[in-house]
Structure 1
Amino acid sequence: MRGLLFYIIGAVGLLTAEPATAQGGATLSGRVSKPTADSIHLRWHPQPLDYKEQTISARLSPKGDFQLQVPVTAPVLTELSYGDAETSVFLEPGDALQLKFKGEELNTSLKFQSADGAAHKAAANANNYLTEAENKFANNEGFQVLPENIELYEAPFISFLDYRRKQQLKEYKSAGGPEAFTSTFAAFAEAEINCLYANDRLTYPDLREQVVSTGSRLQLTPGFYDFTRDAAIVPGPENAPTSPEAQEFMLNYVHYQVRAEGKPLSDPGYYPACYQLAARTFKGAMRPIILGRVLLETFRFGHYDHATAMLADYAASAQAPPAWLALLRRDLEAHKEMAIGTPAPPLPLRTAEGDSLRLAVYRGRLVYVMFWDSRLPLSQRELPYLKEVVKQFAGKPIVFVSAAFDEGANKKLPAGTATAPSVEPAVVPAKARPKVRQSYDIETLPSFVLIAEDGTVLDPNPKRLSSRALLDDLKAAFGKAAAYRAVRLPKP
């Protein structure tokens, strides 16, 4: 299913190309007529919080036959691919399905049937419906928000969403409705339809502002967000944890509601507020998924102390499988370097006079570091803005460090800047440059980092000197490290 994440709820065994013997697995077998490739592939995410996919493959026989043994222990939405084509397949433990399609026409010719008489008819019905629905809606640009429908004003946009949902429900009922499917798939299919509607409506204002050049944000009618107060929408279909649309909507709802309660993304307590709201709002199987996804965001964009406290609460109260918790702990550790609130990595510097310089001498002040190389055009482009930015913060407890990666850089600083008391021209010694690049995650030059008054990372990717928004960000940065520390955190 294009544009969606694919998740499995529950653990799976080790995947190999050999037939699996895990109890409760599913079987896909079939024939490809007029084959155009020699293998068929099935892939999915092993758990809702894992970005990595698992894949199993099968080679076609000379006649085009194949068989895939899928070691699933819980309902799973997978992606079947053949050549350049791909389509979604919904599997439950014990399913045995036969499928057939023409080699060049996977999406339009694919048909499912039970491999064991009537025993798996519901599974075949589900996947035939899924294939037809994808062809009519997911693969039809006219039913997508982007690229054109996002340009609609509020009333016609809602009409578009209403019409699309009506047509999707019509397709669902024509396929037999819930009576033709298992209760698990019926819950999944209904969640996909309703949460796609809810998510597209919820994200419409922000997405339209990003995409449509109108010069100002669209003014919405007072009742635009009333749908979020519908109990059928929030907390939503928590009996359908395999639904990517339900997960996306619930996570986006958390962000929307926290902002509506007065906490912008720049607030030091933003991610703890998201976590606490999600903990209050969601129950059942969906709760550990949404809480876990808030944690993943916090690991990347939030404060390290907040992330560790929230993860401790998750371990104590989320009732998540041990594998999920282990993955979260590994992810936190992987993003520890340069996380907000962690000590800034050592930065060996040499002054223009040849003396060694350590960032510790600037404790009590903000430190805005520009890593650059005067021989590079992009670095040269930033230099004219340095003097003006420094001027805006004259007398403030902030220092701008010009950390050059070439020996002659200091001679090329703008006139008057090198002697300003709030600017420190410096060079990264040649032997230290590989380590500094690694420690500060420098891929290209120029690169920037903002360090708090207490020597911890405050922003690993601040705006560059040429950005007009940098001045506002720096003004808001004074004392922000202390504001992070003052945030009330969940206790396990």
Structure 2
Amino acid sequence: MQNMRWIVLFTFCVLGQLAQAQGGATLSGKVTRPKADSIRVSWHPQPLDPREQTIGARLSSKGEFRLDIPLTAPTLLELSYGEEEVPLFLEPGNALQLRFKSGELLTSLKYSSADGSTHRPAAAANGYLAEVENEFASNEGYQVLPENIELYEKPFLSFLDYRRDKQEKLFKKAGGPAAFSPAFAAFAQAEIRYLYANDRLTYPDLREQVVGTEGRLKLSPEFYSFLGDPAVVPGDEAAPTSPQVQEFMLNYVHYQVRTEGKSLTSPAYYPACYQLADRTFKGALRPLILGRVLLETFRFGHIEHARAMLKDYATTAGAPAPWLELLRRDLDEHKELAIGAPAPPLPLHTPEGDTVRLAVYTGRLVYVMFWDSRLPMSQRELPYLKEVVKEFAGKPIVFVSAGFDDAASKKLPAAAVAAPSVAPAVVPPKARPAVRESYDIETLPSFVLIAEDGTVLDPNPKRLSSHALLDDLRAAFGKAAAYRAVSVKNVKR
């Protein structure tokens, strides 16, 4: 998938439209020389829900089809036929007809309104989307990756300016705002504006990751000046919000919080993101961006922060009830291994057959390696155990080797086994399925870091062979207490 494509499919809407919009949309048409026997459309019924809703229809013997799509707001969808796909923009009440040749969906696609007049703006909008898809998405010259990211600051900004100019000319050529419905005109213009803004904002980090031989570029003082434009932040919040708007605004929140001196590993990071979004957005974007910060917090933040933020969201964000239900369900799905949650039960046996419980290690960090001595990937980690153990000799940390085969403890390096901070153990066979499920173990080896108080500190710490693990472990001592000291209310508004 290309960066230029509108493939991050979100239902986007002004909150007022949720209550006002009624009815659905109809899509009908004909496929010339069909090769596949069905056609489908997919979309996200909620902007915070990653799950798609799909409706399909079989083609008649003449290649004809009809799809009735239940929509309550202007929505970005994806039309798929065989291996081909194209974006769609539909509003409640739209009735569109389309024709295309099998194998040439994008280049041969033609739209028309079902009644010949009322839905002309919808036909124009989707014709414009197809043209944008054909001209920009398929052309690597307009993409940041793989090559344009290597440009230095001035030529990169020239590239962004050139691309934006071409997009704006195409929009004007298609008739400009007067040719489309107000919702689509706002969407199309926002996509152009915020694709530029998002690519500019993420350029320094992305370039540093991709062009690893040069390090981070030293940028000119005016590089981030565009963020001071109120048309960019907070932008036109009265307009329907596009995927590009949401992606940019979330990236903007992260950028601002990092600029304030908080790193991703800071205990206060996600509460700070939430409060910044709360201060910045006052319109329809507010519940969207706050909701997306919550989703990230459920996965990467502290469980108590997540609960406090969700409580605040429920009472102040003005989000529809289905959004709240989704967020509550998502928190519930991630709470078992969330930072700050009690570590799930981990039954272990010593090599001698004695039972060991995690509680015996209270007061120390516990780095657990789940492994199987019969697997090559597990074997490759073992030589690094001695080095890591030596680095933390005398520190309040224990390295638990939780083997998933009965011979695991016998395969540990002798020097590591002799260290007092290493605890060789085996997960009993009957307990292995439950341990896999509770610790979300898909492949071995797998790792988890448990805090001094028995709560999860990092559900996915770096592996033994990673040089960065040493720094992470040094920073982990006392971190559970630092998390507990952070309150959503204490983050400066």
State the match for 1:88 in structure 2.
87
Partner Cα separation in structure 2 for residue 182 and residue 3 of structure 1? 19
State the match for 2:305 in structure 1.
306
Partner Cα separation in structure 1 for residue 161 and residue 151 of structure 2? 14
TM-superposed CA distance for 1:410, in Å, is 2.3
State the match for 1:16 in structure 2.
none
Partner Cα separation in structure 2 for residue 194 and residue 10 of structure 1? 18
State the match for 1:129 in structure 2.
128
State the match for 1:7 in structure 2.
10
TM-superposed CA distance for 1:375, in Å, is 2.1
Asked if 1 retains the 8 angstrom alpha-carbon contact of 2:7 and 2:87, the reply is no
Partner Cα separation in structure 2 for residue 54 and residue 242 of structure 1? 20
Counterpart mapping for 1:451-470 below 5 A? 451-470=450-469
Asked if 1 retains the 8 angstrom alpha-carbon contact of 2:28 and 2:64, the reply is yes
Partner Cα separation in structure 2 for residue 195 and residue 97 of structure 1? 28
Asked if 2 retains the 8 angstrom alpha-carbon contact of 1:463 and 1:470, the reply is yes
State the match for 1:19 in structure 2.
none
Counterpart mapping for 1:147-162 below 5 A? 147-162=146-161
TM-superposed CA distance for 1:408, in Å, is 2.5
- Please give the per-residue CA displacement for 1:90-132, whole angstroms capped at 9, x wherever unaligned: 1111111121111221101111122123211111111111111
TM-superposed CA distance for 1:415, in Å, is 2.4
Counterpart mapping for 1:432-447 below 5 A? 432-447=431-446
Q: Which amino acid aligns with 1:428?
A: V
3-state SS in 1 of match to 2:100 = strand
Partner Cα separation in structure 1 for residue 417 and residue 71 of structure 2? 64
Partner Cα separation in structure 2 for residue 455 and residue 294 of structure 1? 26
3-state SS in 2 of match to 1:224 = coil
Counterpart mapping for 1:271-310 below 5 A? 271-310=270-309
Q: Give the TM-score of the pair, scaled to structure 2.
A: 0.95
3-state SS in 2 of match to 1:337 = helix
Q: Which amino acid aligns with 1:359?
A: L
State the match for 1:406 in structure 2.
405
Asked if 1 retains the 8 angstrom alpha-carbon contact of 2:29 and 2:65, the reply is yes
Partner Cα separation in structure 1 for residue 175 and residue 406 of structure 2? 73
3-state SS in 2 of match to 1:371 = strand
Q: Which amino acid aligns with 1:410?
A: S
Asked if 1 retains the 8 angstrom alpha-carbon contact of 2:12 and 2:76, the reply is no
TM-superposed CA distance for 1:326, in Å, is 0.3
Partner Cα separation in structure 1 for residue 374 and residue 27 of structure 2? 58
The 1:239/1:109 distance shift into structure 2, 3 A limit, reads farther
Partner Cα separation in structure 2 for residue 436 and residue 87 of structure 1? 43
3-state SS in 2 of match to 1:30 = strand
Partner Cα separation in structure 2 for residue 392 and residue 186 of structure 1? 60
TM-superposed CA distance for 1:23, in Å, is 4.7
State the match for 2:197 in structure 1.
198
Counterpart mapping for 1:53-68 below 5 A? 53-68=52-67
Length, aligned pairs only: 481
Partner Cα separation in structure 1 for residue 281 and residue 38 of structure 2? 42
State the match for 2:108 in structure 1.
109
Q: Which amino acid aligns with 1:4?
A: I
State the match for 2:243 in structure 1.
244
- Please give the per-residue CA displacement for 1:271-304, whole angstroms capped at 9, x wherever unaligned: 1111111111112211111111111111111111
Partner Cα separation in structure 2 for residue 458 and residue 294 of structure 1? 20
Instruction: Say if 2:227 is the partner of 1:228.
Output: yes
State the match for 2:29 in structure 1.
30
State the match for 1:267 in structure 2.
266
Partner Cα separation in structure 2 for residue 120 and residue 387 of structure 1? 70
Partner Cα separation in structure 2 for residue 44 and residue 125 of structure 1? 20
Partner Cα separation in structure 2 for residue 70 and residue 360 of structure 1? 54
TM-superposed CA distance for 1:10, in Å, is 6.6
State the match for 1:378 in structure 2.
377
Asked if 2 retains the 8 angstrom alpha-carbon contact of 1:7 and 1:242, the reply is no
Note the residue ranges of structure 1 that are not aligned, 5 or more in a row: 12-21
3-state SS in 1 of match to 2:460 = coil
Q: Give the TM-score of the pair, scaled to structure 1.
A: 0.95
State the match for 1:169 in structure 2.
168
- Give the alignment's Cα RMSD to 1 decimal: 1.6
Partner Cα separation in structure 1 for residue 409 and residue 112 of structure 2? 72
- Percent identity over paired residues: 74
Q: Which amino acid aligns with 1:5?
A: V
TM-superposed CA distance for 1:263, in Å, is 0.5
Asked if 1 retains the 8 angstrom alpha-carbon contact of 2:183 and 2:240, the reply is no
Asked if 2 retains the 8 angstrom alpha-carbon contact of 1:236 and 1:250, the reply is no
- Structure 1 stretches of 4+ with a deviation exceeding 6 A read none
Partner Cα separation in structure 2 for residue 281 and residue 192 of structure 1? 20
Partner Cα separation in structure 2 for residue 105 and residue 4 of structure 1? 19
- Please give the per-residue CA displacement for 1:184-230, whole angstroms capped at 9, x wherever unaligned: 11110000000000001111111111112324112211221111111
TM-superposed CA distance for 1:416, in Å, is 2.5
